[in-house]
Amino acid sequence: MTRFRQLALALALLCSVGRMMGADDEKARFEKVGDKMQCMCGCNQMLLKCNHVGCPVSPVMIRDLQASIKVKSDDEEVLDWFRKNYGVTAVILPSSHGFELTAWVVPPVVLTLAIGLLILIISTWRRRMPRVAAGANAALDPELESLRSRARRETEI
Amino acid sequence: MPLLGSFCLLFSLALALYCFGAGIISLVRRDPASNRLGETARRAGLACFIAVSGSAFALVWAALNNDFSLAYIHAHSNKALPVAYKISALWSGQEGSLLFWAWLLAGYGFILRWRHKVDQRLVAFSSVILAGIQIFFLLLVNFTANPFGIMDRVAADGNGLNPLLQYPEMVIHPPMLYLGYVGLSVPFAFALGALIMKYPGEKWIHITRRWTMVAWLFLTCGIFLGAHWAYSVLGWGGYWAWDPVENASLLPWLSGTAFLHSVMMQEKRGMMKVWNVWLIFTTFLLTIMGDFLTRSGIVASVHAFARSDIGAWFVVMMVVTLAVCLFFFIKNRSHLKSENSLESLVSRESSFMWNNVLLLAACFFVLWGTLFPVITEWVKGHKITVGTPFFNYINVPIGLALLFLTGVGPLLAWRNTSWASIRKNFAIPAGLSFLMFIGLLALGVRPWIEPPHFSSLSDFLHFSRWLDFAHSCALITIPLATLVATTIVLEFLRGGRVLRPKLETNLFGAMFHLTHRNTRRYGGYIAHFGVALIFLGLAGSAFDKENEQPLKAGEKMQIGAYTLVSQDETQDDNANYTSYASALEVQKDGKKIGNLYPEIRIYKASQQPDHMVAIRSTAKEDLYVIYAGRNDGEVPVIKAFIKPLVSWLWIGVVVVVLGTGVALVPNAAQLKSPVLAQVASTVTAPAFEKQMEPAGVGK
ipTM attached to this prediction: 0.79
| Beta-carbon separation of B394 and A107 below 8 A | yes
Nearest CA to B621 out of B535, B541, B530 is that of: B541
Neighbours of B25 (CB within 10 A): 14
> Is the CB of A107 inside 8 Å of chain B's CB atoms?
yes
* Cα B332 to Cα B193, B274, B327, distances in angstroms: 12, 11, 9
| Beta-carbon separation of B611 and A46 below 8 A | no
| Beta-carbon separation of B385 and A89 below 8 A | yes
- Measured distance CA(B35)–CA(B134) in Å, rounded: 22
Neighbours of B341 (CB within 10 A): 20
| Beta-carbon separation of B455 and A92 below 8 A | no
| Beta-carbon separation of B386 and A94 below 8 A | yes
Whether A86 and A120 share a structural domain: no
Q: Which of A93, A118, A133 is the last residue of a domain?
A: A93
Q: Give the range of the structural domain holding residue A55, as residue numbers without chain letter.
A: 24-93
As a dihedral over the C-alpha atoms of residue B229, residue B233, residue B239, residue B243, rounded to 10 degrees, the angle is: -90
Helix (H, G, I), strand (E, B) or coil at B641: strand
B399 Cβ contact partners less than 8 Å away, ≥ 6 residues apart:
B362, B535, B538
Per-residue exposure over B581-616, b if at least 16 CB sit within 10 Å of its own CB, e if not = bbbbbbbeeeeeeeebebbbbbbbbeeebbbbbbbb
Domain with CATH 2.60.98 in chain B: 543-647
Neighbours of B131 (CB within 10 A): 30
Q: Does some domain include residue A72? A: yes
Q: Does some domain include residue A1? A: no
**A19, pLDDT greater than 50:** no
* Residue B666 or residue B20, greater confidence: B20
Query: Which of A15, A89, A125 has its CB closest to that of B342?
Result: A125
CATH of the domain at A87: 1.10.8
- Per-residue pLDDT reduced to its tens digit, B381-398: 877 888 888 999 899 999
Residue of chain B whose Cα is closest to the Cα of A55:
B629
Mean pLDDT comparison of B73-87, B339-353, B444-458, B636-650, highest-scoring range: B636-650
CA distance to partner chain A, nearest, from residue B494 (Å): 17
Q: The pTM is what?
A: 0.85
CA atoms within 13 A on the CB side of B173: 20
CA distance to partner chain B, nearest, from residue A87 (Å): 9
The order of strands in the sheet holding B621-630 is: B545-550, B636-644, B621-630, B614-617
CA distance to partner chain A, nearest, from residue B506 (Å): 15
Q: How much is the pLDDT for A152?
A: 61
* Residue B35 or residue B40, greater confidence: B40
Helix residue ranges, H only, chain A: 3-20, 26-34, 58-71, 75-86, 101-138, 142-155
* Residue A142 or residue B575, greater confidence: B575
- The answer to whether residues B93 and B71 touch, using CB atoms and an 8 Å cutoff, is no
> Is the CB of A7 inside 8 Å of chain B's CB atoms?
no
- Measured distance CA(B102)–CA(B137) in Å, rounded: 6
- CB–CB contacts below 8 A, A to B: 186
Residue of chain B whose Cα is closest to the Cα of A54:
B629
Pick from A39-48, A138-147, B8-17: least confident: A138-147
Residue B588 phi, psi dihedral angles, 5° rounding: -135, 125
Whether A29 and A72 share a structural domain: yes
| Beta-carbon separation of B364 and A141 below 8 A | no
**Total domains in the fold of chain A:** 2
- The answer to whether residues B370 and B427 touch, using CB atoms and an 8 Å cutoff, is no
Which residue of A26, A30, A44 is the best one to mutate when testing the B interface, meaning the one whose CB has the most B CBs within 10 A? A44
> Is the CB of A129 inside 8 Å of chain B's CB atoms?
yes
* Residue B96 or residue B414, greater confidence: B96
| Beta-carbon separation of B376 and A110 below 8 A | no
Which residue of A35, A53, A86 is the best one to mutate when testing the B interface, meaning the one whose CB has the most B CBs within 10 A? A53
- Measured distance CA(B531)–CA(B599) in Å, rounded: 33
Nearest CA to B216 out of B176, B245, B243 is that of: B176
Q: Residue A137 burial by CB count (10 A; 0-12/13-18/19+): exposed, middle or buried?
A: exposed
Per-residue pLDDT band for B457 (boundaries 50, 70, 90) equals low
User: Given its phi and psi angles, is residue A108 left (phi above 0), alpha (psi -120 to 50 degrees) or beta?
Assistant: alpha
Strand pairing partners for B587? Answer: B563, B592
Instruction: For residue A25, list chain B residues with Cβ-Cβ distance below 8 A.
Output: 451, 453
- Per-residue pLDDT reduced to its tens digit, B308-344: 678 889 999 999 999 999 999 999 888 877 777 776 7
Q: How far is CA A144 from the centre of its chain?
A: 50
Instruction: For residue B301, list chain A residues with Cβ-Cβ distance below 8 A.
Output: 44
Whether A107 and A89 share a structural domain: no
| Beta-carbon separation of A106 and B685 below 8 A | no
Instruction: For residue A92, list chain B residues with Cβ-Cβ distance below 8 A.
Output: 385-390
Which residue of A19, A44, A51, A141 is the best one to mutate when testing the B interface, meaning the one whose CB has the most B CBs within 10 A? A51
Per-residue pLDDT band for A11 (boundaries 50, 70, 90) equals low
**A155, pLDDT greater than 60:** no
B153 Cβ contact partners less than 8 Å away, ≥ 6 residues apart:
none
CA distance to partner chain A, nearest, from residue B148 (Å): 31
Name the strand (E) or helix (H) holding B645.
none
Whether A65 and A114 share a structural domain: no
Residue type, A153: R
Neighbours of B508 (CB within 10 A): 11
Instruction: State the maximum Cα–Cα separation within chain A, in Å, rounded to a whole number.
Output: 82
Whether A40 and A80 share a structural domain: yes
Whether A68 and A38 share a structural domain: yes
- The answer to whether residues B501 and B455 touch, using CB atoms and an 8 Å cutoff, is no
Q: How much is the pLDDT for B221?
A: 95
Angle, CA B377 vertex, CA B376 and CA B382 arms, to 5°: 100
- The answer to whether residues B191 and B259 touch, using CB atoms and an 8 Å cutoff, is no
* Residue B563 or residue B33, greater confidence: B563
Q: Which of A93, A122, A137 is the last residue of a domain?
A: A93
- Per-residue pLDDT reduced to its tens digit, B571-584: 888 887 888 899 99
CA distance to partner chain B, nearest, from residue A91 (Å): 7
- Per-residue pLDDT reduced to its tens digit, B627-674: 888 877 788 889 899 999 999 999 999 999 999 999 998 887 655 544
Instruction: For residue B271, list chain A residues with Cβ-Cβ distance below 8 A.
Output: none
Q: Does some domain include residue A60? A: yes
> Is the CB of B394 inside 8 Å of chain A's CB atoms?
yes
Whether A130 and A151 share a structural domain: yes
Helix (H) and strand (E) counts for chain B? 23, 10
> Is the CB of A24 inside 8 Å of chain B's CB atoms?
yes
Strand pairing partners for B588? Answer: B562, B591
Q: Could you please report the per-residue DSSP string of B173-215?
A: HHHHHHHHHHHTHHHHHHHHHHHHTT--SSHHHHHHHHHHHHH
Residue of chain A whose Cα is closest to the Cα of B601:
A53
- Measured distance CA(B552)–CA(B564) in Å, rounded: 11
Q: Which of A93, A110, A126 is the last residue of a domain?
A: A93
> Is the CB of B558 inside 8 Å of chain A's CB atoms?
no
Query: Which of A92, A140, A154 has its CB closest to that of B687?
Result: A140
| Beta-carbon separation of B394 and A46 below 8 A | no
Helix (H, G, I), strand (E, B) or coil at B587: strand
Q: Does some domain include residue A78? A: yes
B331 Cβ contact partners less than 8 Å away, ≥ 6 residues apart:
none
Q: Does some domain include residue A36? A: yes
| Beta-carbon separation of A25 and B302 below 8 A | no
Size of chain A, expressed as the number of residues it contains: 157
Q: Does some domain include residue A15? A: no
CATH fit for domain B543-647, picks 1.10.3470, 2.60.98, 2.60.40, 2.60.290: 2.60.98
- Measured distance CA(B72)–CA(B146) in Å, rounded: 9
Q: Does some domain include residue A124? A: yes
- The answer to whether residues A25 and A9 touch, using CB atoms and an 8 Å cutoff, is no
Whether A29 and A88 share a structural domain: yes
| Beta-carbon separation of A22 and B687 below 8 A | no
State the sign of the Cα–Cα–Cα–Cα dihedral B426, B428, B431, B433.
negative
CA distance to partner chain B, nearest, from residue A15 (Å): 5
> Is the CB of A90 inside 8 Å of chain B's CB atoms?
yes
- Per-residue pLDDT reduced to its tens digit, A80-96: 888 888 887 788 888 87
Q: Does some domain include residue A4? A: no
Whether A34 and A89 share a structural domain: yes
Query: Which of B241, B457, B630 has its CB closest to that of A15?
Result: B457
Instruction: For residue B459, list chain A residues with Cβ-Cβ distance below 8 A.
Output: 15, 18
Please write down the HEC assignment for all residues of B512-547: HHHHHHCHHHHHHHHHHHHHHHHHHHHHHHHHCEEE
CA distance to partner chain B, nearest, from residue A142 (Å): 11
CA distance to partner chain A, nearest, from residue B283 (Å): 19
CA distance to partner chain A, nearest, from residue B379 (Å): 8
- Measured distance CA(B275)–CA(B631) in Å, rounded: 58
Name the strand (E) or helix (H) holding B631.
none
Per-residue pLDDT band for B153 (boundaries 50, 70, 90) equals confident
Beta strands in B538-635 (DSSP E): 545-550, 556-559, 562-573, 577-588, 591-596, 599-603, 609-612, 614-617, 621-630
Q: How much is the pLDDT for B463?
A: 62
Residues 286-345 of B with CB under 8 A from A: 300-302, 340-345
